[in-house]
Amino acid sequence: NHSSDSRGALIVLEGLDRCGKTTQSSRLLSYLEELGHTVESWRFPDRTTNVGQMISSYLANKSHLDDHTIHLLFSANRWEKRSLMESKLKSGTTLIIDRYSYSGVSFSSAKGLDVEWCKAPEIGLLAPDLVLYLEISPENAAERGGYGEERYEQLEFQKKVAQSYKTLRDASWKIIDATLPIEDVEKQVRDTVLNCVETCREGKPLSE
């Protein structure tokens, strides 16, 4: 019986800082809402929790933490939302998530941490049904209005992050050309997402 296993889709947007994820998340949210889907837009890090506030302070360079420690805090921040995520998906809500485990692994391994060690705390989190990777060169991203004050927003570091992301691609990924005009990026995103939402509604199992 398909209908009893019907659920929302877990859609993740990934990419370098300034790739346009936030704009595309909000546009995708409106689009799916207009089509009558139940949908929410989330982001990680979720800076509203206690763990999230520690992360936010670290990113603002107001605190200093060992690389392993901050890695585990980012992961903990995803874990503290896991059960809510599962219940939302099972009740039919589609989630659009701005950054997830792939950010966790690519940003920390770009610092030189062992990639398998970086992946370990992500094991058991819910697997995305679709990862939209908004691809842009680090140089191009850096030109977009300049980086802010946050810790990772530096060209040399973003080049390493881009390399790490490349090694993480899997079958759930769809590479989107994020250098195109906003409307063209939006169209690529829409075309990819509809099929994914439908498959989940028809009962594709949730996995970890």
What does the binding site for Na ion look like in residue numbers (CB under 5 A)?
17
**42 versus 44: smaller Cβ distance to ligand DGP:** 44
Residue 158 Cβ vs ligand DGP, minimum distance, rounded to whole Å: 8
Question: Is the CB of residue 157 less than 8 Å from the CB of residue 114?
Answer: no
Residue 93 Cβ vs ligand DGP, minimum distance, rounded to whole Å: 21
- Which residue lies nearest Na ion, judged by its C-beta? 17
Which residues share a beta bridge with 96? Answer: 11, 41
Contact string (CB under 6 A) for ligand DGP, positions 78-117, x = contact = --------------------xx---xx--xx---------
* # residues near ligand DGP by CB under 6 A: 14
- Residues with Cβ within 8 Å of 87's Cβ and at least 6 positions away in sequence, in order, are none
Quick one: which of 9, 19, 54, 59 contacts ligand DGP (CB under 6 A)?
Answer: 59
Question: Is the CB of residue 35 less than 8 Å from the CB of residue 120?
Answer: no
Residue 129 Cβ vs ligand DGP, minimum distance, rounded to whole Å: 20
β-strands 10-14, 94-98: how paired? parallel
Structure tokens at 205: 């199992």
Residue 13 Cβ vs ligand DGP, minimum distance, rounded to whole Å: 9
**89 versus 96: smaller Cβ distance to Na ion:** 96
Structure tokens at 174: 């769809």
Q: How far apart are CA 178 and CA 175, in angstroms?
A: 9
- 164 makes contact with ligand DGP (CB under 6 A): no
∠ at Cα 101 (100, 103), nearest 5°?
75
Neighbours of 113 (CB within 10 A): 15
Residues that bind ligand DGP (CB under 6 A): 17, 44-45, 59, 71, 74, 98-99, 103-104, 107-108, 150, 152
